[in-house]
Amino acid sequence: METNTLPATMINMMEDITCRLADRPKLAKMFQNCFKNTIQTTVKRLEDQSTFIITGDIPAMWLRDSAAQVKPYLALADRDETISTIIEGVIKRQIDYVNIDPYANAFNKEADGAGHQNDLTDMSDWIWERKYEIDSLCYPIQLSYLFWKRTGITRHFDAEFFKAVKKIIGVWKVEQHHEEQSPYRFQRKNCPPSDTLTRDGLGEPVCYTGMTWSGFRPSDDACMYGYLIPSNMFAVVVLNYMEEILTSFYKTSNLISSVTELKKQIQSGINEYGIVKHPKYGKMYAYETDGFGHYNLMDDANVPSLLALPYLGFCSIEDEIYQNTRAFILSEDNPYYFEGKAAKGIGSPHTPDQYVWHIALAIQGLTTNSSEEKEELLRLFETTDADTGYMHEGFHVDDPTQFTRKWFSWANAMFCEFIMSVVESASKK
């Protein structure tokens, strides 16, 4: 899609933000590039009226990424039918994929057998990759809910959506008892340890906590311990959305009560097993636990993350435990916080050592009330794009010209969300 065929609302928003960033022309140009990137390079409308979205440099649709890629466009969905239709089509395709296999994280446009078909798991020709991640089931519900709230459109809450909700609840309840009940196994041969699960594909041992198990993180890296705290927190938020949707459109009391009970169990598990007393930071959230007393204290650039909790709607920015956790995350005590000559921020074991992620910088900006911190992050975005005009996955803290993924739509979208929030905040002053 060329610039002159972009929806008028997108052009107007790009022009408006360019005016508001008149004193920062490079930042304005970067916003223009990134804002139109998803719709111009990754979106394909299909004959069934659904929307298929590739991540960028990988020709598959991730449930997580595709929701995040179109999230900045929600701001226009209530007044632009083209945008609204694209997002509604994304939801349709996501729900169809969940109904094909709720344990898969990435899918093909057609049942063509592309992707990791040699993995030892229950693959099908529709699936690109079958790494089970809690957040893969959270994002489609989040997008469906936010789309409804923004536009008032409800036709996506159909029989297929209801079927997907039941599948999601079923999986999350089974995975509360992963050791005893889970049918899921995953192994990949001849790969780094982060790309496969131990114990013949079952993963490291866990015991019941009330939380629900995840094989992999939103980075697609294997969990060290199976209870991934930020993903369980995202599940609590999404279960709240489910309650409201089911109450409003389905009125199925048995399923509603099941959702309510599951939400209470997961929240109770977070409260009991997800909080640690750190000698330096006080009460803070762990990243992962197994229920046996083992904890992984870190944070990862991929969302859901501990840093992103207010952004996801789990808690307020001012929440004391969140602030303690944030202080840890944005320090060298977090093994994936890096600081160098050109930048400082959160990276990931998914990328090389000393690489900071643009996604994490955007989340940092979206979860602070400090104007000074936001200003510093704006400067970092201006100076770490390697003069490409786009965001990347990770870049070296001493040399931003060393980066991973030249074409990564999720990072572009997160940058846009941050810029839009900064401009909106400035307009209210």
pLDDT in tens, 379-395: 999 999 999 999 999 99
What is the pLDDT averaged over residues 337-361? 98
Is the pLDDT at 429 greater than 80? The verdict is no
pLDDT in tens, 172-221: 999 999 999 999 999 999 999 999 999 999 999 999 999 999 999 999 99
Please, what is the average pLDDT of the chain? 96
Domains of the chain (ranges plus CATH)?
Answer: 49-333 (1.50.10.10)
Buried b (16+ CB within 10 A) or exposed e, 140-164: bbbbbbbbbebbebeebbeeebbeb
pLDDT in tens, 302-341: 999 999 999 999 999 999 999 999 999 999 999 999 999 9
Is the pLDDT at 157 greater than 50? The verdict is yes
Is the pLDDT at 3 greater than 60? The verdict is no
Q: Where are the beta strands (DSSP E) in 215-280?
A: 227-228, 275-278
- The predicted pLDDT at position 396 comes to 98
Is the pLDDT at 2 greater than 70? The verdict is no
CB 126 within 8 A of CB 117: no
Tell me, letter by letter, the H, E, C secondary structure of 191-207: CCHHHCCHHHHCCCCCC
Say which DSSP state 401 is in: T
What is the pLDDT averaged over residues 90-118? 98
Share of the chain above pLDDT 90, in %: 96
Is the pLDDT at 1 greater than 90? The verdict is no
Share of the chain above pLDDT 70, in %: 99
- The predicted pLDDT at position 128 comes to 98
- Report how far apart, in Å, the C-alpha atoms of 393 and of each of 113, 361, 407 are: 27, 11, 9
- Report how far apart, in Å, the C-alpha atoms of 411 and of each of 285, 303, 338, 355, 401 are: 25, 11, 18, 14, 16
CA atoms within a 13 Å half-sphere pointing along the CA-CB vector of 321: 14
Give the integer Cα–Cα distance in Å for 34 and 37.
5
What is the pLDDT averaged over residues 231-258? 94
pLDDT in tens, 270-296: 999 999 999 999 999 999 999 999 999
